[in-house]
Structures are given as structure tokens and as C-alpha cells.
């Protein structure tokens, strides 16, 4: 056993040195021969573990991401020898791979258009650019594939302390998204002077997408199948529909071997309140409501004021004495009939919400009354949401999170 562990450690150190050499500036050709001599059967998980180790030791994620394609090129021959994971139709990995096949088919079609585009005369270029735009529009559907990977697979890997590889891959996904949108805009607003740029950028992003397919199927998916539990795969499967699918729809459902659903498991963690989308303590719930950029007041189905938030800059002051009172008793007699009519419209289903907006103490206040219904459509009460929209009206242009 100790010999096996030592061999594994030796192999990890060897891979780490190769990756570090790449970061120091050596070429793929310079390190590939040494790699072939040292490692013949490297497992996909070992590559990801080494990348994670480098990140934990201080190598910036951006550096690992920048050379992600180089890493894959060095290990490609070894990885191609890895058997494809056995999956069942409907299983999340099976669906990911079916999407990849559809993407590859679409890439072939785009390359055929590019070949035609290269050979065409100036008068025909506009029609071909429109054809290319239509295909690139379809390829933008990749966002759903990447979103399911990032928002469903990656969180479970992180729960198993696999942090580095998801960060690296997410960064490359974003690069592909941006490059794909850029190519599509060049095709949509075709300029004959930018024909060469359009062709070059489209070919580049197609190659990057194919490289990502390789990384998913030879590194990510095998690692996930090795790491995640059946319960975790079931949770991923159940939530996949909410994000959607890329180019195809699963043709069959999937169930784990044993009948178990993560969402139906009893939560025994003391002090937590269970929701369909997570767990919160009572204190966390109160703080969340009080930090919302809106004021909320809830009146139940019987017309009783049950709750209001206490944000720092609340628009309308609410005394705690209104809790437990009937909503009509909280308004002047002259306006009671208006309140009753509004509640009746919401309760009956004639309306789902009603908006009002007023100038009040230097603010421009939007007030929305929303009918609250349960999953069966039964009326549960009215939510009043109030917000000063004057600062929002002053917003223009864009401010991105990177700024």
C-alpha cells in the first residue's frame, strides 16, 4: 500500500512540474516527451487535483485558466485512452454528452458556411452572413449547457473540496460566451472590410468550444461520476429543467437505482427553517427581509396584518401596533372601500397585482400590491412592496460587476 501511495505522489509531483514548466514558458513540444516517459495512464482526476493544488499554493486562477488549453494538449493522448463513462439515458451526464453531439453537428454546419463564405464573391456575402448569423444564434444555446454545468455540477464538486478546476473551467466558459457573441455580432452587422476578422474569430471560437467538449468528457464528467453520490446526481437531474437544455431535449427520464429524493429528505439541523431552495435560520430570514432594497408588508387571506420589514430607510413608517389588526382598520375611513375593492380583485383572481406611484417627501414611490397564492393557486394573502424609484430613474448606460 505504501508503495502505491508513493507512486501516486511521485506521479502527482511529475505532473505538477510539467504544468509549472508550461507556466515558466516552455512549449508543449519541450515537455511532452518527458511527460510520455513519466506518465502513461494518468487519471482525469489527478490532473484536476494538481491544478487545484497549484491554485491553493498561490498560482492565480487566471494563470491556470490562461494555459488550460495547453494543459489539455499535453495530456490529450493519455486522456483519449480513458474509457467513456457509462451513463443511462436521461442521466445528467448522458444529457450533457448528447448536447455535445448536437453542438458538434452544428459546428460542422457552421464550418461548411465558412468555407462557402471564403469562396464567395462580394455580391453574395450578405446572404451568407445572414445564414451564418442564424447558425451562431443557435450556438448561443450553449449558455444553457454551461449554466447547468456551473450552477449544478460545480457546487457539488465544491462540497467535495474540489475548488480549483470549476473556477478555471467557468472562466473559460465565459471566454467562449464572449467570443461567440462577438462573432455573432460581426455576422449580424456584416462589413465587407471585416470579412477576414469574422472568419478568424468564428473559427477560433469553434475550436475553443471543441476543446471544452474534450475537457468535459475526458476530465470533468469522469471526475464527477467518480466523486458525486447518487443523491447528488438526483438533485442535479431534478433542477436541470429549470435552467434548460442546449439544442436538444432529453428523450427519457432518469431515476437513481434506489428511490430517494434529496428534496424529500428530512432536515434535522436544529434551528433551521427548510425552504424548497435551501435552509435559513430565523435570524437570517429577518436580516434578509430588512436588507431588501424594498419595504414589504404582508396581509394574510383573512385580512390580518401579519408582518412588515424594518429596513433602515423605510418609505412609510409602520408602528408595531398594526400587527394583528385588520387591514381596513389601518386606513382612513374615506379610503376603506378602495382598499376592500383592491383586496377583492386580488383575492378573486381578477388581478394578480396592482401598481400605484406617488411623490412623497422628496421621493418617487412605487407601491405594488401582489396576490400571494400557493402552489395550488389558492389565495394566501396580499404582499405590499414599496420602493423609492427616484434613484433608479437616474441610472443610464451600464456598470458591470468587473468594474
CATH of the domain at 200: 1.20.120.520
* 57 shares its domain with 100: no
CA–CA distance, 400 with 169 (Å, rounded to integer): 21
pLDDT at 263: 44
Q: Are 129 and 190 in contact (CB under 8 A)?
A: yes
* 171 shares its domain with 202: yes
Q: Is the four-CA dihedral 186, 187, 193, 194 of positive or negative sign? A: positive
pLDDT at 112: 96
Q: Are 256 and 230 in contact (CB under 8 A)?
A: yes
Q: If we measure between CA atoms, which residue out of 235, 62, 18 comes closest to residue 164? A: 62
- Domain range for 27: 1-79
User: What is the 8-class DSSP label of residue 220?
Assistant: I
Query: Of 49, 79, 109, which residue constitutes the final position of a domain?
Result: 79
| Residue at 401 is within a domain | no
Q: Is 363 helix (H, G, I), strand (E, B) or coil?
A: strand
Q: Where are the alpha helices (DSSP H) in 57-124?
A: 61-66, 68-80, 92-119
The residues, ordered by sequence, that sit 6+ positions from 402 with a Cβ below 8 Å of its Cβ are none
CA–CA distance, 143 with 193 (Å, rounded to integer): 30
| Residue at 227 is within a domain | yes
| Residue at 291 is within a domain | yes
pLDDT at 68: 65
pLDDT at 213: 95
pLDDT at 338: 84
* 110 shares its domain with 30: no
CA–CA distance, 32 with 25 (Å, rounded to integer): 14
* 222 shares its domain with 325: no
| Residue at 253 is within a domain | no
pLDDT at 369: 94
| Residue at 208 is within a domain | yes
CA–CA distance, 383 with 355 (Å, rounded to integer): 12
pLDDT at 316: 86
DSSP-derived pairing of the beta strands 295-300 and 379-388:
antiparallel
Q: If we measure between CA atoms, which residue out of 56, 57, 70 comes closest to residue 24? A: 70
Q: Tell me how many domains the chain contains.
A: 3
| Residue at 267 is within a domain | no
Task: Estimate to the nearest angstrom the gap between the alpha carbon of 78 and the chain centroid.
Answer: 30
pLDDT block averages, 10 residues each, the chain of length 403? 51 71 76 66 64 74 65 64 66 95 97 92 83 96 94 90 86 94 95 93 96 91 90 89 91 74 44 78 90 93 91 84 80 76 92 93 93 93 94 89 65
Amino acid at each position: 500500500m505504501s508503495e502505491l501511495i508513493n507512486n501516486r505522489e511521485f506521479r502527482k509531483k511529475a505532473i505538477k512540474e510539467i504544468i509549472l514548466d508550461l507556466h515558466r514558458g516552455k512549449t508543449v513540444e519541450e515537455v511532452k516527451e518527458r511527460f510520455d516517459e513519466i506518465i502513461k495512464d494518468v487519471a482525469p482526476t489527478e490532473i484536476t487535483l494538481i491544478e487545484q493544488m497549484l491554485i491553493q499554493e498561490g498560482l492565480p486562477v487566471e494563470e491556470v485558466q490562461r494555459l488550460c488549453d495547453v494543459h489539455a494538449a499535453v495530456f490529450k493522448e493519455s486522456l483519449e485512452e480513458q474509457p467513456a463513462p457509462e451513463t443511462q439515458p436521461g442521466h445528467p451526464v448522458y444529457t450533457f454528452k448528447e448536447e455535445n453531439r448536437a453542438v458538434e453537428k452544428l459546428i460542422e454546419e457552421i464550418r461548411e458556411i465558412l468555407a462557402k463564405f471564403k469562396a464567395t464573391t462580394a455580391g453574395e456575402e450578405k446572404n451568407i452572413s445572414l445564414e451564418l448569423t442564424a447558425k451562431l444564434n443557435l450556438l448561443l444555446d450553449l449558455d444553457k449547457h454551461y449554466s447547468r454545468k456551473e450552477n449544478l455540477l460545480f457546487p457539488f464538486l465544491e462540497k467535495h473540496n474540489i475548488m480549483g478546476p470549476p473556477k478555471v473551467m467557468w472562466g473559460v466558459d465565459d471566454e467562449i460566451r464572449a467570443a461567440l457573441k462577438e462573432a455573432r455580432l460581426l455576422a449580424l452587422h456584416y462589413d465587407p472590410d471585416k470579412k477576414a476578422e469574422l472568419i478568424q474569430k468564428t473559427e477560433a471560437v469553434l475550436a475553443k468550444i471543441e476543446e471544452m467538449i474534450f475537457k468535459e468528457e475526458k476530465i470533468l464528467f469522469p471526475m464527477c461520476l467518480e466523486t458525486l453520490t447518487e443523491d447528488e446526481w438526483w438533485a442535479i437531474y431534478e433542477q436541470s429543467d429549470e435552467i434548460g437544455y442546449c439544442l436538444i431535449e432529453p428523450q427519457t427520464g432518469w431515476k437513481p437505482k434506489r428511490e430517494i429524493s434529496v428534496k424529500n429528505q428530512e432536515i434535522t439541523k436544529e434551528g433551521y427553517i427548510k425552504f424548497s431552495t435551501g435552509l435559513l435560520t430565523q435570524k437570517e430570514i429577518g436580516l434578509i427581509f430588512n436588507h431588501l432594497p424594498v419595504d414589504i408588508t404582508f396581509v394574510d387571506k383573512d385580512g390580518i396584518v401579519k408582518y412588515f420589514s424594518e429596513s433602515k430607510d423605510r418609505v412609510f413608517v409602520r408602528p408595531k401596533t398594526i400587527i394583528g389588526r385588520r387591514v381596513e382598520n389601518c386606513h382612513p375611513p374615506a379610503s376603506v372601500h378602495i382598499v376592500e375593492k383592491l383586496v377583492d380583485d386580488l383575492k378573486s383572481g381578477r388581478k394578480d397585482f396592482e401598481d400605484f406611484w406617488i411623490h412623497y417627501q422628496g421621493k418617487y414611490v412605487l407601491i405594488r400590491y401582489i396576490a400571494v397564492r400557493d402552489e395550488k393557486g389558492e389565495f394566501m394573502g396580499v404582499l405590499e412592496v414599496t420602493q423609492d424609484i427616484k434613484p433608479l430613474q437616474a441610472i443610464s448606460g451600464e456598470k458591470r460587476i468587473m468594474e
